[in-house]
Amino acid sequence: MDCGEGAQGRFVKFGLGLNKDMLVLITHLHGDHVNGLLGLLQTMSMSQRIRTLTMVAPQALFDWLKVTMRVLHIGLSFQVLMVPVKPGVVFRGRDFRIRAARADHSIEAWSYVFEELPRPGVFDPKKALALGIPEGRKWSSLQRGRSVVVKGTKTLPGQVLGRPRSGRKIGYSGDTRPTKALAKFFARVDLLIFDSTFAARDADKAVERKHSTAVEAARVAKEAGARELVLTHFSARYRSTRQLLREAKGVFEETVAAKDGLVLEVPQRDAT
């Protein structure tokens, strides 16, 4: 989600892997969100990446990327699938989807929600054995939500599975002012990563520059019913994030401040 300067170095430092399936989501075309893209693509190519890389971004980014690569004679060892962003679902994976909505920034900008698709309920081995289903492939089929037939008798997944479980949701705002539309877009996300550029005392600058304060980010998280909020995109005017974190936690307690190398666990949801 966005690709600032030095992104390829972070990939290597944190062992993220350069040849795995991945999506690159770009929110807008300000330098601090895209300046690392060319370097990342070249590093992937030098690492002999062969898998197609999917990139979702404003169309203008693809225009810039094509021209720049042609002028600099950059060739890649893999294909880039360019998907122009639009409102609604912009990508569907086997067990997840990505949705996009317009953000409120000084140029065209977008926010994203990563949604894990609903998963089958917990498998009950005792019920399966009682129904005469031997352990093995048929258990796996039932766990994936598929019916099986044993000795002419059909068993439905619902007979051996608990209640379906909702998938997890992660929201990413990019640079934006807080809006009612975004609070609705991020409804019930498990993790919300939101623009928190300014402290409350600099709210006028947030309005002028189309960013958010930490307090405003917390209000969006609260209105959206998020489980956890991550503050990010801090102005360089602040020597630490302590004040911004304190202000946000006064509105929404389950808040942390982003930092390099931060790892957060997003727990599975309970049965619905």
Write phi, then psi, for 201 (nearest 5 degrees).
-65, -15
DSSP state letters, 156-171: -GGGTB-S-BPPPEEE
CB–CB of 247/199 below 8 Å?
yes
With vertex at residue 240, the alpha carbon angle to CA 237 and CA 242, rounded to the nearest 5 degrees, is: 125
* Annotated catalytic residue, options 2, 21, 32, 195: 32
Identify the sign of the CA torsion 16, 22, 26, 31: positive
* Catalytic residue list contains 32: yes
> From residue 219, how far is each of 120, 180, 193, 238, 263 by CA, in Å?
33, 10, 13, 21, 24
Distance of CA 37 to the CA centre of its chain: 17
Q: Is 136 left (phi over 0), alpha (psi -120 to 50) or beta?
A: left
Write phi, then psi, for 4 (nearest 5 degrees).
-75, 175
Distance of CA 205 to the CA centre of its chain: 27
> From residue 24, how far is each of 15, 41, 48, 267 by CA, in Å?
17, 11, 18, 23
- Where in the sequence numbering do the catalytic residues fall? 32
